[in-house]
Each structure stands twice: as C-alpha cells, then as structure tokens.
Amino acid sequence: MARPSPAEPPAEDAPAAPAQRGWPAPSRASAGSRLGATAGPGSVEEVLSLLRASGGRVTLPRRLLLEALFDDRRHRSAEELAAEVQATAPEVHLSTIYRNLEELQRLGVVVHSHLGHGPATYHLAAAAHGHFVCEGCGATVEAPSSVFRELSASAFAEHGFEVNPIHFAIPGRCAACLAGRAAGGAEVAAQH
Ligand SMILES: [Zn+2]
Ligand SMILES: [Zn+2]
Ligand SMILES: [Zn+2]
C-alpha cells in the first residue's frame, strides 16, 4: 500500500483522509482547490465558468455575491454580504444569499469561518486560512499554516482524525492584551 503520509495531506496528490465539506485542502478536486492550485482566486468570470462546468447556474445574485467576495477580501457575514448585493439589487432576499453561499460552499468556491461568538463569516476558499481570536479584545489574527502542521500530523497519525484548521478560530490572548495584563497584573489579581 502507498504511504498514508499523514503529515502532509495537502501536499499529496490523493490524500487518504475522508472528504470533508468546506475544508479546502489545496489538492482537493473542487472548483475552489483548482483555482487555488493555479493562479489564485482568479476572477469572477473564472469562478462562473467553473460553476457552469460543475452544473451550477449563473444568476444575478450569484454574480453579485461573487463580485462582493472578490472586491473585498475581508471576512463578512451573510447579512453583510446581502447588504452589499442589495445595494445593487434590492430585490435579492437574504434567503437567496444564504442559498447561494450554501451552493458556492458545496462547489468548493467559498468557505465559512467562525471567528468568535458572532455569525459565521464567508470568504473565497482559495484564500482560506486559520485564525487566532483574542478573548480579551476580540482581535483576530491570521494564523500561519505552520502552526497547524504538527497538530494535524499527530491528530491523524494517533487518532486517524483529520484536523480542519479553518472552520473555527483558536481562542486565546493576543500579544497586546497579554502585555496589558502583565502591566496591570496586580490590579487584575486584586479584583479576582
Ligand atoms: Zn487582545
Ligand atoms: Zn482571516
Ligand atoms: Zn460552521
């Protein structure tokens, strides 16, 4: 049998781990991963032609939604994306946005992340990444993929578990909050 190579599933041509929705490992055979493997996210037109090839329909809400996702790479909730689409097409309902986000996720073009207690945020799968979120001030920091490498390797090797580092942010304390806590340590200690 071929080596399972649990340490580097994304780098392998055909990872042995089970398929999982919304986890855009670069080698996965989805529209999003194909985009990621070539010239990055490309363009709205590139995604739309991939959608057509995958049997997806190209509607005005879907085009506007993709334009919003391409124009601004920040994480946004479905409600925020709906507001942007509705600025151009007020007749588009929030439920339509949700339905389109679902299908774009199913096709591997879009993923969502939970960055804290608020609603899920959406972005292009080709730009997916993990996060740290500060429980003190709410700041989110993009976590380098190297942070998850050892965790992913041992989780798979020892438990057969495939870690998804993108879906949820890792909670903790940011450097600024730690520095503040260190400076006012006596005060914090006195209050508790
Ligand atoms: Zn903080
Ligand atoms: Zn991010
Ligand atoms: Zn989720």
Q: Using pLDDT thresholds of 50, 70 and 90, give the confidence band for residue 43.
A: confident
Q: Which CATH superfamily is domain 129-192 in?
A: Ferric-uptake regulator, C-terminal dimerisarion domain (3.30.1490.190)
Average pLDDT over residues 149-157: 95
Domain boundaries, the chain: 1-11+23-111, 129-192
pTM summary value = 0.69
| SS3 category, 66 | helix
Asked whether the domain spanning 129-192 has the same topology as the one spanning 1-11+23-111, the reply is no
Q: How far is CA 146 from CA 129, 152, 161, in A?
A: 11, 10, 18
What CATH number is given for 1-11+23-111 in this structure?
1.10.10.10
For residues 54-62, give the mean pLDDT: 86
Residue 111: the pLDDT is 94
Q: How far is the CA of 13 from the centre of ligand 2 (A)?
A: 26
- Tell me the two tokens of residue 132: 């740290």
Query: pLDDT tens across 118-138, in order?
Result: 899 999 988 889 999 999 999
167 CA to centre of ligand 3 in angstroms? 6
CA 114 to ligand 3 center in whole angstroms: 6
Of 29-38, 118-127, 181-190, least confident by mean pLDDT is: 29-38
